[in-house]
Amino acid sequence: MNPPGPATRARVLPVAGRGEEIPEEDVVRECLRRTPPHLPPWLGYDAVGSDLFEQITELPTYYLTRVERALLERHSPEIAELLAGGRIAELGSGSAKKMRLLLESCVRLRRTTYLPIDVDEGMLRSSAAELCSQLDDLEVTGLWGRYEAALDWLRDHTGEPLAVIFLGSSFGNATREERDGLLHEIARTLKPGESFLVSADLDKSPEVLESCYNDPVGYTAFADFRLNYLTRLNDLYGADFVLDDFVPDACYNTQTSTVEGRLRARADRTVSIPGLGVTLHLPRGHFLNVGYSVKFDEEGLAREVGAHGFHLRTRWLDPEARYGLFLFRRDESSPSR
């Protein structure tokens, strides 16, 4: 009998609404009521947003993707040995281009099921099909929805040892409160001895960070990506944002070690968002926040993740210590359980 073809090894399952997941509208409404108002990262990733993010990864000043890819090219065989899991779940998998490097090493060692998790269904389907056509024997079950719902699905579908992977320094896109909530869910999902691999961008000078998170002359990927959040609010919730009324940029907040992606109102603006029952007042010069990117120090990250019942097993940094991959192992007991 012929081995199963790529099409039969790739599937995508919707997981939205599972477990204690808060409805999308409630999350967006709550974020808009904060000071300053902000928008959750997942809102920006429709097909247009995902494509713009891919363009960002290719900007000459955006070092993160290139450095992470180099780390994975170099260390994937060792990481795959240490993961020791037949099931590899990835939070916010996107195009999964870098993940392919790690999966290549995994399938050489053992039968592997990859469980990419993302809100962009189109990206999940295309990356699943592409990976299965490139890697014989790989099984892919894409989980279409937000992290909490997908982790809930994973808790209900046990099997081979599981590893949770979080690449692209996306962990830093959440606030401290959101990161604690997510770590709690990850800790509840992994059994003692299982692995959590997370990448983080390390703190560095404001000049480097601001040049990384703003468009170089002649490019518009970051600006378009940030403005796409307003298009999403208009499309999903009937908002009346006029894109030209807002100036996109990014600024490094040294107090919080966070790059803040912003949309600044050119003049006093009142925007109605009927689908959320929200009216937003933005005085001239005030910002709507459309993306946090927290910069970590190694000890702080180990402490933060460690507080949820993990210990740092090992980590890999690039030669200039700009960026790291951190491998944690789930402890026997944890305050999160």
Ligand X SMILES: C[S@@+](CC[C@H](N)C(=O)[O-])C[C@H]1O[C@@H](n2cnc3c(N)ncnc32)[C@H](O)[C@@H]1O
Q: Which is nearer to ligand X, 226 or 269 (CB)?
A: 226
Token reading at 3: 């081995």
Nearest CA to 311 among 200, 227, 194, 202?
A: 194
For the chain, report the end-to-end CA distance as a whole number of angstroms.
45
Shortest distance in whole angstroms from residue 332 CB to ligand X: 29
291 forms part of the interface with ligand X (CB under 6 A): no
* Shortest Å, Cβ 149 to ligand X: 8
Site track 122-151 with ligand X (rule: CB under 6 A), x = hit: ------------------------xx----
Number of residues this chain uses to bind ligand X (CB under 6 A): 18
Of the candidates 39, 167, 202, 250, which one interacts with ligand X according to CB under 6 A? 167
Which of the ranges 10-18, 165-173, 208-216, 242-250 carries the binding residues for ligand X, by CB under 6 A? 165-173
**Amino acid letter for position 303:** R
- Collect contacts of 51-56 with beta carbons under 8 A, ≥24 apart: 52/221, 52/224, 52/225, 52/228, 53/94, 53/225, 54/94, 54/95, 55/221, 55/225, 56/221, 56/222, 56/225
Instruction: Determine, following the binding rule CB under 6 A, whether residue 41 of this chain makes contact with ligand X.
Output: yes
Q: Interface with ligand X includes 62 (CB under 6 A)?
A: no
Q: Check binding of 94 to ligand X (CB under 6 A).
A: yes
Question: Among 10, 15, 102, 117, which residue interacts with ligand X (rule: CB under 6 A)?
Answer: 117
Q: Does 118 bind ligand X (CB under 6 A)?
A: yes
Helix (H) or strand (E) holding 132: helix 121-134
* Alpha-carbon gap, residue 179 to 310, rounded angstroms: 14
Interface residue with ligand X among 24, 104, 120, 215 (CB under 6 A) is 120
Which residues touch 66 (CB under 8 Å, ≥6 apart)? none
Q: How far apart are CA 145 and CA 141, in angstroms?
A: 13
- Site for ligand X, rule CB under 6 A: 41-42, 45, 50, 53, 92-94, 98, 117-120, 146-147, 167-168, 170
